[in-house]
Amino acid sequence: MDIFLTKTHRFHFLPLSALMSVTFSQRREFVFVPTLMNWMNAQKYCRQHYSDLATVHDQTNLNELLKTTGLGKFWFGLYRTTGNGVFVWSEQSRSSFTRWKLGQPDIKLCVIVQNGYWVDSNCEDYFPFACYFAKNIGPHS
């Protein structure tokens, strides 16, 4: 608690929370892993060593990811459980942002980034992959 003196010289005690709002945010940092793995093993590796396979929720995220990975083919965290199902992120979040290559998606379950575009692929194929880890930033008032 902080103490404030008013013009009438009475003391008023105000909790610090009444004076400012403090928030913490998380920033995601991407890591490229050049080891070739299938999607499931890549997911397991990312969860053991980082947070999860990379997720992309907007063009800015995708640009940051591509700065880390470069162009080429690599797994990231988008998948679905059936050939006509909804795509979700490995860490279970949803996003309306997409960057599908023309003619995609097909009926495959897992997704690679290929030259900046998303292409569905057989989950048993071997590619390098991208992970993310959450980095706390804050406090901000």
| Per-residue model confidence (pLDDT) at position 136 | 64
Rounded to the nearest angstrom, the gap between the alpha carbon of residue 101 and the centroid of all alpha carbons in its chain is 20
Encode the chain (141 residues) as per-residue pLDDT tens digits: 333 333 334 444 445 444 443 433 457 899 999 999 999 999 999 999 999 999 999 999 999 999 999 999 999 999 999 988 999 999 988 778 999 999 999 999 999 999 999 999 999 999 999 999 987 655 544
| Per-residue model confidence (pLDDT) at position 135 | 75
| Per-residue model confidence (pLDDT) at position 137 | 58
| Per-residue model confidence (pLDDT) at position 94 | 79
| Per-residue model confidence (pLDDT) at position 125 | 98
Nearest to 79 by CA among 69, 66, 68, 92: 92
| Per-residue model confidence (pLDDT) at position 116 | 96
Please state the pTM of the whole predicted model: 0.77
Q: And the tokens for 106?
A: 């097909």
Place of tokens 């292409």: 119
Are 131 and 49 within 8 A, CB to CB? yes
| Per-residue model confidence (pLDDT) at position 26 | 56
Q: What CA–CA distance (Å, rounded) separates 113 from 92?
A: 19
Domains and CATH numbers, the chain: 29-133 (3.10.100.10)
